[in-house]
Amino acid sequence: MRKFTLTAAAAAAMALPGLIAPAQAQSNEIVIGISVTTTGPAAALGIPERNALEFVPKAIGGVPLKVIVLDDGGDPTAATNNARRFVTESKADVIMGSSTTPPTIAMSTVANEAAVPHFGLAPFPITPERAKWSVSMPQPIPIMGKVLYDHMKKHNVKTVGYIGYSDSYGDLWFNDLKNQAVPMGIKIVDEERFARPDTSVTGQVLKLVAANPDAILIGASGTAAALPQSTLRDRGYKGLIYQTHGAASMDFIRIAGKAAEGVLMASGPVMDPEGQADSALTKKPGLELNTAYEAKHGPHSRSQFAAHSFDAFKVLERVVPVALKSAKPGTPEFRDAIRKALLTERDIAASQGVYNFTEKDRFGLDDRSRILLTVKDGKYVQVK
């Protein structure tokens, strides 16, 4: 398990594998525990989320931040253990993670049991049992799905096939496809699933091609989303292919190659802040993140996933000063004050959207949190 800690004195220092986090949180620092997936099939999501921590504040409201980062490998059990470690050993004031849906659900469960504010970094279903202490930084599926289905409708798509993960992320997208696209007059003619570690989807793709839908929606994330994309084109599918915001990364283009050309992909606005109006509240933070990220990690390295962790700190910059007025870090009162401040602060501008959390809306986003991308000549281009 790999862990690193960021403090005001040593923001970029990484701890060696196996080191244990301090057992006690100090009253003069805010402890934030983050579990992301930096190894395994979803590493393309978790590594940018970790990298973005280089560009977040080292203190908020005059109080230093101690950020402890652990890798969960995309495993819900590991994410659960990491979350418990944060709340019991490190006395975390806030926890964040994970990079994919199943481990994020696991972390949310721990957070709500322990009464610790939790920022999900992957889309996940926030049930009443997980609603008090959890919020989601990524856009909710219905908001992102709508931009895809509207495009289908505009381009006379009558039938659609679906291939997605055989887990909760795949379920979220297939259910949304049924709930939104079918009432719009779009018929689902085939549903296929695959596991995240799979290296072949030929059987599923052959069934989709045989069904001959006008379009196909792929409910996958990270580099694994490129597998059905490439296989569909290799097997001669000529129709429209749609991808979710879970695939919005340069790694997708790198893996899919020429098969990525023409894909239609929901995305957050951070992938193209340059194309936004100057009045857009998401433009300044998007440019801030992308400028810093690409200076460090190279041209065109911008990432929607980096934005999720970056934006969580944008939210903390608004809510922590409010919480500090009534309580000290390291106490249950401070954690509760953060939870309450999430409900009172309005129009929190970040790179992926403008957040307005409520007790019932734990995503807090609206249509300003989405754009539609395509790939042209190996680069993402916004579809206007």
The lowest-confidence range among 9-23, 335-349, 365-379 is 9-23
Quickly state the pLDDT bin for 16 (edges 50, 70, 90).
very low
Stretch 215-240: mean pLDDT? 96
The per-residue pLDDT for range 80-138, each reduced to its tens digit, is 999 999 999 999 999 999 999 999 999 999 999 999 999 999 999 999 999 999 999 99
The CATH code belonging to domain 3-139+290-366 is: 3.40.50.2300
- The pLDDT, as a whole number, for residue 11 is 39
pLDDT above 70 for 12: no
Higher-confidence residue of 8 and 337: namely 337
The per-residue pLDDT for range 55-76, each reduced to its tens digit, is 999 999 999 999 999 999 999 9
pLDDT above 70 for 152: yes
- The pLDDT, as a whole number, for residue 249 is 86
Higher-confidence residue of 299 and 8: namely 299
- The pLDDT, as a whole number, for residue 238 is 97
Q: Do domains 3-139+290-366 and 141-267 have the same CATH topology?
A: yes
- The pLDDT, as a whole number, for residue 24 is 42
Q: SS in 3 state form for the chain?
A: CCEEEECCCCCCCCCCCCCCCCCCCCCCCEEEEEEECCCCCCHHHHHHHHHHHHHCCCEECCEEEEEEEEECCCCHHHHHHHHHHHHHCCCCCEEEECCCHHHHHHHHHHHHHHCCCEEECCCCCCCHHHCCCEEECCCCHHHHHHHHHHHHHHCCCCEEEEEEECCHHHHHHHHHHHHHHHHHCCEEEEEEEECCCCCCCHHHHHHHHHHCCCEEEEECCHHHHHHHHHHHHHCCCCCEEEECHHHCCHHHHHHHHHHHCCCEEEECHHHCHHHCCCCCCCHHHHHHHHHHHHHHHCCCCCCHHHHHHHHHHHHHHHHHHHHHCCCCCCCHHHHHHHHHHHHHCCCEECCCCEECCCCCCCCCCCHHHCEEEEEECCEEEECC
- The pLDDT, as a whole number, for residue 27 is 57
- The pLDDT, as a whole number, for residue 245 is 94
Domain-by-domain residue ranges, the chain? 3-139+290-366, 141-267
pLDDT above 80 for 77: yes
Stretch 206-222: mean pLDDT? 97
Stretch 181-197: mean pLDDT? 97
Stretch 226-250: mean pLDDT? 96
- The pLDDT, as a whole number, for residue 19 is 35
- The pLDDT, as a whole number, for residue 209 is 98
Quote the pTM value: 0.87
pLDDT above 60 for 1: no
pLDDT above 90 for 14: no
- What is the residue-averaged pLDDT of the chain? 93
Stretch 199-205: mean pLDDT? 98
What CATH homologous superfamily does 141-267 map to? Response regulator (3.40.50.2300)
pLDDT above 80 for 17: no
